[in-house]
């Protein structure tokens, strides 16, 4: 029994040297092309999204202590890389874009919040401050709807 415990401890130690791909980073970005600059959300909407979404959907990820410990670190880094690929509030416009056009993608911000699909439930259990109330999601959706009404 003791041998197995030692073996597991050794394995855990070795895992720490296995680098996760992609690496943990917060790439720099052009603030003029960010969600905040382009969409001009009201303060309460921006604060809600920052609190509940930005860790996985922006280049301003707050990497928690557990994201430095393998094998959890690999999981966290995959979620962030995957999240950024789907939706990145920091890179709201692509480098070659001058105006925003992906309105159906924008609409999903409300859909995900309303259905409770996002923020990811596993994340919320570790980050209770990211939980959204009914009122939070109503505020986000009301603003998204008003933007969509003006755009279409
Ligand atoms: C813990 C990380 C994490 C958090 C926090 C998070 N997301 Fe996600 N999000 C992901 C990942 C991973 C994907 C891609 C896989 C998937 O769709 O489940 C994703 C996908 C999405 C998509 C694309 C869905 C599609 O069909 O293309 C939208 C929109 C989205 N998230 C919105 C949000 C919003 C809005 C918030 C905050 C209220 C949020 N997410 C919080 C990780 C996260």
Cα separation, 100 vs 106, in Å, equals 10
- Does the C-beta of 118 come closer than 6 Å to ligand 1? yes
141 close to 110: Cβ distance less than 8 angstroms:
yes
Ligand 1 centroid–CA 1 distance in Å is: 42
Examine residue 42 and state whether it is found in any structural domain, yes or no: yes
Q: Is a pLDDT exceeding 70 seen at residue 36?
A: yes
Q: Which of 23-32, 44-53, 137-146 has the lowest mean pLDDT?
A: 23-32
Examine residue 75 and state whether it is found in any structural domain, yes or no: yes
Examine residue 6 and state whether it is found in any structural domain, yes or no: no
Can you give the residue range of the structural domain that contains 47? Answer: 19-151
What is the per-residue pLDDT for 21?
Answer: 61
Residue of 102, 109, 104, 107 lying closest to 83 (CA atoms): 109
Number of domains in the chain: 1
53, 55, 106, 123: residue to mutate for ligand 1 pocket, most atoms within 8 A of CB: 53
**Residue 150: band (very low, low, confident or very high) from pLDDT cuts 50, 70, 90:** confident
Examine residue 5 and state whether it is found in any structural domain, yes or no: no
Query: Does pTM surpass 0.85?
Result: yes
């Amino acid at each position: 029994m003791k041998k197995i415990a030692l073996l597991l401890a050794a394995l855990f130690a070795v895992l720490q040297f296995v680098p996760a791909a992609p690496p943990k980073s917060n790439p720099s970005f052009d603030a003029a092309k960010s969600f905040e600059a382009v969409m001009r959300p009201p303060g309460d909407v921006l604060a809600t999204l920052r609190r509940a979404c930005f860790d996985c959907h922006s280049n301003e990820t707050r990497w928690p202590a557990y994201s430095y410990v393998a094998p959890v670190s690999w999981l966290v880094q995959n979620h962030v890389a995957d999240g950024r690929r789907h939706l990145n509030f920091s890179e709201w416009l692509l480098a070659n874009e001058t105006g925003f056009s992906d309105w159906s993608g924008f609409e999903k911000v409300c859909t995900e919040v309303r259905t409770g699909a996002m923020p990811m439930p596993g994340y919320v259990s570790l980050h209770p401050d990211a939980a959204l109330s009914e009122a939070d999601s109503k505020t986000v959706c009301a603003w998204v709807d008003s933007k969509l009404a003006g755009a279409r």
